[in-house]
């Protein structure tokens, strides 16, 4: 009791740097307003109002981010909210990436021209296969709760990459995951697959976050604090057993690698990517990847840099497993969405190489962040194209249905070819520059064998991208094959944004590379 | 009682939960096992708070409880919707997505 009273007297309200966390506050605040609107507005107005609110929010958040980034701010960043949130150069870079990728995803989510009424179910409570379900599949209007859910997920991701202690990181992890579980189950067509994806993602995600949390508890026992810098200090010399440190680190990293869909923790990825509505798959593939690797980079750099010789071997192995699984299993896929999912597992392996290349000048971190940005834009555009190829019962994702697509729609086939080449890492695309900078950083950090394995894995992966290209250009289209929908403005903008950024970063990457390399994590 | 016993108990509960997730077939029971894992973590957080002589761990346990409650809401909604469709909550029946 005395302890409690003594502590209560010491508590002071923490200083809050509102300018620094303005983007975060805008996104999360708008998410709350969006929930209210959902309750108050009549049904026919919701889609338009929610869409405008969401887009204005994202633009406003980017605006306040630019305002803060260009203002007078401390070079090494600030820790605000009692040290829970660190706003430093990498956090600002990742926030900007997340917001712009989120903007692209929201455009895909909002599109109602490709699928009348949008890609989302009109009423999630309707049982699949019933009369009401067949009626909702053709009726216009979609569950507009997807907008607040997307904003909450985005807010969670932004908190995740900036969190300076493990408790904040855990809360942010849940704030980003819980909306995603729900979003996965809201597809308008093939609802059984969609619901199954949601169940699988939810059960495995909850399992992984329990591991993450146990890791946090053990590290708290080790360091006496969950602050990343306190763990780094404790690892420098403490009387506690190292078992706590390494068991905690292992469990923590399992949770993080699960979210990032790396290597042996990838088993949910293909199922969820295939079952979820395609705009949500795009959102997950781009933004969740950025958030998860942002978190991994921060944890490894700030908390565990001085113990890297103990854990580097483990993550080395994980990166190899991830690249091999992604490249080999990608070869056997017959579904476009599953194929891109396995490609994302292989890409997660490449990203992990960059994350463990902790060289003193920070090129590993900046290279990985550049790769994340480049990969995110390419993936959003790729899933945007996937959503256009349709037949009477929704998207035609089976590879055989893509045969001869170039004859039906040369522009779509050409765009998809370009995006696949970017994923494969062909020069003149951002994928090549991304791989180049990550592998250079890895060589600098003495990870030569890993780079050789990565190059072999990219070559194997290039085979299954090229297979799709050959199929699109050199096969005859099936007579009852799918049609290519002419996209409305939203999907067109999202695909163009992704493709243009992929091209521009392939030709002039310097600007973004410089920006990614401007500062290091606040420790 | 030394606090170490509580840590061992917490590790034991966590392992029981983890094994339960892997071997049980009903989605609800799987989910309850996840909750058991979270509560095992709470026990170790509180024990470490006692060992460290700070209140941080106890406050964290509250955060975990709130998160677990939010997770129940989302999880049961998802499990309910698939149960209404399939008339079964077995995780073995959800097998449309594979390979």
pLDDT at residue A7 tops 70: no
Mean pLDDT for the stretch of residues A121-146: 82
In terms of Cα–Cα distance, which of A468, A320, A291 is closest to A382? A468
Tokens describing residue A456: 């072999």
Among the partner-chain residues B48, B74, B97, the one whose CB lies closest to the CB of A275 is B97
DSSP per position, A416-464: HHHHHHHHHT-TTSHHHHHHHHHHHHHHHTT-HHHHHHHHHHHHHHHHH
- Please say whether the beta carbons of B38 and A216 come within 8 A: no
At residue A30, the pLDDT reads 97
Instruction: Sort out which chain B residues have CB atoms less than 8 A from A202's CB and list them.
Output: 74-75, 78-79
Residues A144-179 as b or e (16 or more Cβ within 10 Å = b): bbbbbbbbbbbbbbbbbbbbbbbbbbbbbbbbbbbb
Tokens describing residue A127: 């049982």
pLDDT at residue A6 tops 80: no
The mean pLDDT value of chain B amounts to 91
Tokens describing residue A268: 């949910």
Subunit contact B41:A124, Cβ cutoff 8 A: no
Mean pLDDT for the stretch of residues A126-130: 83
CB distance from A483 to chain B under 8 Å?
no
Scan for tokens 């107005």, then name that residue: A45
pLDDT 10s digits, A395-443: 888 888 898 889 889 999 999 999 999 999 999 999 999 999 999 999 9
Provide the percentage of residues in chain A whose pLDDT is more than 70. Answer: 98
Among the partner-chain residues B14, B81, B84, the one whose CB lies closest to the CB of A214 is B14
DSSP-derived letter for residue A13 is P
d(CA A187, CA A119): 6
Among the partner-chain residues B7, B47, B75, the one whose CB lies closest to the CB of A206 is B75
- Please say whether the beta carbons of A196 and A275 come within 8 A: yes
At residue A479, the pLDDT reads 80
pLDDT at residue A476 tops 90: no
DSSP, collapsed to helix, strand or coil, labels residue A288 as: helix
pLDDT at residue A503 tops 60: yes
Which residue in chain B has the smallest CA separation from A128? B85
Predicted confidence band of residue A377 (pLDDT cuts 50, 70, 90) = very high
Mean pLDDT for the stretch of residues A340-363: 92
- Please say whether the beta carbons of B81 and A185 come within 8 A: yes
At residue B99, the pLDDT reads 64
Mean pLDDT for the stretch of residues A73-87: 89
At residue B95, the pLDDT reads 78
d(CA A101, CA A96): 8
Q: ipTM of this complex > 0.90?
A: yes
Residue A378, Ramachandran bin (φ over 0: left; ψ between -120 and 50: alpha; else beta): alpha
Give the range among A271-280, B14-23, B85-94 with minimum mean pLDDT.
B85-94
pLDDT at residue B61 tops 90: yes
Provide the percentage of residues in chain A whose pLDDT is more than 90. Answer: 72
d(CA A353, CA A454): 9
In terms of Cα–Cα distance, which of A256, A398, A419, A259 is closest to A338? A398
3-state helix vs strand vs coil in chain A, percent to 5:
75, 5, 20
User: Would the CA dihedral through A468, A324, A215, A159 be positive or negative?
Assistant: negative
Mean pLDDT for the stretch of residues A236-251: 88
At residue A5, the pLDDT reads 64
**Can you give the pTM of this predicted structure?**
0.94
At residue A77, the pLDDT reads 87
d(CA A502, CA A504): 6
Mean pLDDT for the stretch of residues A305-310: 87
Mean pLDDT for the stretch of residues A208-219: 96
pLDDT at residue A1 tops 60: no
Predicted confidence band of residue B36 (pLDDT cuts 50, 70, 90) = very high
- For chain B, state the CA radius of gyration: 17
Mean pLDDT for the stretch of residues A236-257: 90
Subunit contact B81:A274, Cβ cutoff 8 A: no
pLDDT 10s digits, A12-39: 788 899 999 999 999 999 999 999 999 9
- Chain B interface mutation, best of A174, A206, A252, A275, highest count of B Cβ atoms under 10 Å: A206
Subunit contact B85:A191, Cβ cutoff 8 A: yes
Q: Higher pLDDT residue, A9 or A324?
A: A324
User: Distances in Å between the alpha carbon of A176 and those of A172, A287, B8, B35?
Assistant: 6, 10, 32, 19
pLDDT 10s digits, A161-202: 999 999 999 999 999 999 999 999 999 888 889 999 999 999
At residue B90, the pLDDT reads 84
pLDDT at residue B72 tops 90: yes
Mean pLDDT for the stretch of residues A293-320: 92
Report angle CA A311, A326, A276 to the nearest 5 degrees: 110
Provide the percentage of residues in chain B whose pLDDT is more than 70. Answer: 98
Tokens describing residue A170: 């855990």
**Sequence spans of domains, chain B:** 25-86
CB distance from B1 to chain A under 8 Å?
no
Mean pLDDT for the stretch of residues A45-60: 95
pLDDT at residue A291 tops 60: yes
- Please say whether the beta carbons of A380 and A98 come within 8 A: no
Residues A76-86 as b or e (16 or more Cβ within 10 Å = b): ebbbbbebbbb
CB distance from A133 to chain B under 8 Å?
no
Predicted confidence band of residue A117 (pLDDT cuts 50, 70, 90) = confident
User: Distances in Å between the alpha carbon of A494 and those of A102, A132, A139, A500?
Assistant: 10, 32, 25, 10
At residue A4, the pLDDT reads 63
Subunit contact B91:A203, Cβ cutoff 8 A: yes
Residues A315-324 as b or e (16 or more Cβ within 10 Å = b): bbebbbbbbb
At residue A522, the pLDDT reads 84
């Amino acid at each position: 009791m005395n302890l409690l009273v003594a502590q209560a007297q010491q508590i002071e309200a923490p200083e809050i740097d509102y300018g620094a966390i303005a983007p975060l506050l805008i996104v999360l605040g708008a998410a709350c307003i969006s929930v209210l609107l959902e309750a108050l507005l009549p049904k026919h107005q919701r889609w338009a109002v929610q869409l405008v609110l969401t887009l204005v929010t994202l633009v406003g958040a980017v605006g306040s981010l630019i305002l803060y980034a260009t203002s007078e701010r401390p070079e090494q960043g600030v820790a605000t909210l009692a040290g829970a949130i660190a706003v430093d150069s990498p956090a600002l870079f990742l926030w900007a990436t997340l917001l712009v990728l989120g903007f692209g995803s929201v455009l895909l989510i909002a599109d109602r021209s490709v699928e009348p009424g949008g890609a989302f179910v009109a009423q999630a409570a309707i049982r699949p296969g019933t009369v009401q379900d067949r009626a909702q599949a053709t009726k216009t209007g979609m569950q507009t709760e997807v907008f607040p859910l997307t904003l909450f997920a985005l807010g969670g991701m932004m908190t995740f990459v900036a969190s300076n202690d493990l408790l904040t990181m855990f809360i942010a992890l849940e704030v980003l995951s819980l909306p995603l579980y729900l979003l996965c189950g809201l597809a308008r067509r093939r609802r059984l697959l969609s619901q199954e994806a949601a169940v699988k993602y939810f059960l495995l995600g909850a399992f992984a976050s329990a591991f993450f949390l146990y890791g946090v508890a053990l590290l708290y026992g080790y360091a006496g604090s969950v602050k990343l810098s306190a763990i780094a200090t404790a690892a420098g010399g403490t009387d506690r057993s190292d078992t706590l440190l390494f068991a905690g680190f292992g469990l923590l990293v399992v949770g993080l690698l699960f979210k990032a869909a790396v290597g042996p923790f990838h088993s949910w990825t293909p199922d969820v990517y295939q079952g979820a509505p395609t705009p949500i798959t795009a959102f997950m593939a781009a933004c969740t990847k950025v958030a998860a690797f942002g978190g991994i980079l921060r944890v490894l750099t700030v908390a565990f840099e001085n113990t890297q010789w103990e854990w580097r071997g483990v993550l080395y192995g994980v990166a190899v497993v991830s690249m091999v699984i992604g490249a080999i299993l990608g070869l056997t896929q017959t579904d476009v969405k599953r194929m891109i999912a396995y490609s994302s597992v292989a890409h997660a392996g490449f990203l992990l190489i960059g994350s463990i290349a902790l060289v003193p000048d920070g090129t590993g971190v900046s290279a990985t962040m550049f790769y994340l940005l480049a990969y995110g834009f390419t993936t959003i555009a790729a899933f945007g194209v996937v959503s256009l190829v349709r037949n009477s019962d929704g998207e035609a994702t089976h590879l055989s249905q893509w045969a001869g697509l170039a004859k039906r729609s040369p522009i779509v086939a050409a765009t998809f070819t370009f995006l696949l080449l970017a994923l494969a890492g062909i020069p003149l695309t951002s994928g090549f520059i991304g791989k180049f900078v990550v592998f250079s950083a890895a060589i600098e950090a003495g990870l030569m064998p890993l780079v050789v394995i990565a190059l072999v894995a990219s070559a194997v992966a290039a085979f299954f991208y090229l297979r799709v290209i050959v199929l699109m250009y050199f096969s005859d289209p099936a007579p009852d094959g799918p049609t290519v929908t002419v996209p409305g403005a939203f999907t067109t903008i999202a695909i163009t944004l992704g493709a243009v950024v992929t091209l521009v970063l392939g030709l002039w990457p310097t600007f973004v590379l410089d920006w990614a390399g401007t500062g290091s994590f606040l420790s | 009682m030394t606090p170490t016993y509580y840590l061992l108990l917490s590790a034991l509960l966590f392992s029981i939960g983890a094994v339960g997730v892997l071997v049980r077939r009903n989605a609800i029971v799987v989910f309850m096992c996840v909750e058991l894992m979270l509560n095992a973590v709470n026990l170790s957080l509180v024990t470490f708070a006692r060992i460290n002589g700070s209140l941080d761990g106890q406050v964290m346990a509250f955060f975990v409880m709130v998160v677990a409650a939010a997770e129940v809401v989302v999880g049961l909604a998802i499990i309910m919707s698939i149960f209404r469709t399939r008339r079964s909550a077995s995780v073995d029946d959800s097998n449309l997505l594979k390979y």
